[in-house]
Amino acid sequence: MTGLPIAVVGASAAGLAAAETLRRSGWRGPLVLIGDEPHLPYDRPPLSKQLLHGAWAPEKLLLRTRDQLAPLDLDLRLGTRATGLDVATRTLTLDDGTELACAGVIIATGVAARTLPGADRIAGVHTLRTLDDALALRSRLATGGAPGSEGTAAGGGGLRLVIVGNGVLGCEAAAVARELGHDVTLVGIEATPMAAAVGTEVGELLAEEHRARGVRLVTGAVDGFETAPADPADGGDPRVTAVRLAAGAVPGGGSGEGGGRLLPADLVLVAIGSRPAVEWLDDPALDTGDGLRCDAYCAAAPGIYAAGDVARWDHPVHGRPLRFEHRMNATEQGMAAARNLLAELAPSAPAGAGDAAPAQERRPFAPVPYFWSDQYAVKIQAYGLTAGADRVETTVVDRAERRVLALYGRDGSAVGVLMAGLPPRQVRALRAVVAAPLPWEEARERIAAATAPG
């Protein structure tokens, strides 16, 4: 296969990590990095935090500048979408009609934001996944709305922002919008914010913080939007005026407002989760149910690997397929996929091939999952698996300061730990407790020792 490129599909954190690892590990052949956005690879977590707040300029999100990418000698194809992959021949089809035969392919296309029917044809209704999404929403939050909108909450001063979805993204955006002075309503099907990710008790603590900051919490499903006609002088789409709730929606946690069928809105953020970007992968040799299915080495098929939010792989420690939409996992898995692809390709490279990488052994990818979320002054950090736990033990260390520690279990073993407001030394020690599933009582004892004073 000498002379053929390795292609990395997805100019993401995972894709960049894969490309850099390929070069660092000895691949000297052609290397193509394909990204459907026009931007250089950038960091996504700040989109809903520092960038949305206006504290960071877009340039600060770049993972590498063009000058920093130059030594990689990339065939960089930004603004280009992969539309197909023939697994047997490892041939990519791109949206410009190009067919690219490859020595190997790493898929790092991430996820796409879910939305609601008709939302893309209503001005003022946003999603938040890409840099352009974040900049569009930031512009509205900074300027007070589009021409013709009231742009004034009931108490005066800010926009009326309704956030549909009370998961991690919705909660982070709510915190930013409140800090910017806007009137915020957070709507979720689940009564407790972030409950699916962190459990009910930790979610209730976060709900208390949001209420204390003035966020209105509403439990219920969204049935659609109310709109006003576009300004004839401007043309364009009708603009949102309210979010329509399904029957039975109630104010969350006893807030005295927001339980009506209509929630007035100058601006709406739809934050109802994401879907793996696998629709372009229609080869029947690939399993694309809930992401691209891979083995423990991140391989989806011979010479085809995946990394980051799109990959669902066999975690060798937890013994089941997992898919993580977490920043640290993206980088670590991009590196692992690159190394394992090279290990697979090395035996097939002709003797003396100029682009061959040094021989190495494939290794299972077995990370300790990690995620964090910043909301107001609260920084949540978690190691291991917190979602899907069948047992959760939560200790509220200081309710007023939102200091909390939670242990998550599954099938009799401790598999995850979450903390907020704990010293860095204790945070590091807690990671070791859930590096592998541990009997519940043993994990409790080790956590007590790790968090003991002194």
Strands 391-398 and 403-410: antiparallel
pLDDT at residue 230 in the model: 84
Q: Which of 180, 171, 220, 149 is nearest to 52 (CA)?
A: 180
Spatial neighbors of 136 by CB under 8 A, at least 6 apart, are: 126
Q: What is the pLDDT of residues 313-367, one digit of tens each?
A: 999 999 999 999 999 999 999 999 999 999 999 976 654 445 655 557 999 999 9
Gyration radius from the chain CA atoms: 23
Structure tokens at 372: 């964090």
pTM exceeds 0.75, yes or no: yes
Spatial neighbors of 366 by CB under 8 A, at least 6 apart, are: 296, 315, 316, 317
Q: What is the pLDDT of residues 117-168, one digit of tens each?
A: 999 999 999 999 999 999 999 999 997 644 333 444 444 468 999 999 999 9
What residue ranges of the chain have pLDDT lower than 70? 1-2, 144-157, 233-235, 249, 251-260, 348-359, 454
Whether residue 270 contacts residue 113, with contact meaning beta carbons closer than 8 Å, is answered with yes
Whether residue 7 contacts residue 102, with contact meaning beta carbons closer than 8 Å, is answered with yes
pLDDT at residue 359 in the model: 57
pLDDT at residue 360 in the model: 79
pLDDT at residue 149 in the model: 39
Q: Which H or E run includes 448?
A: helix 440-450
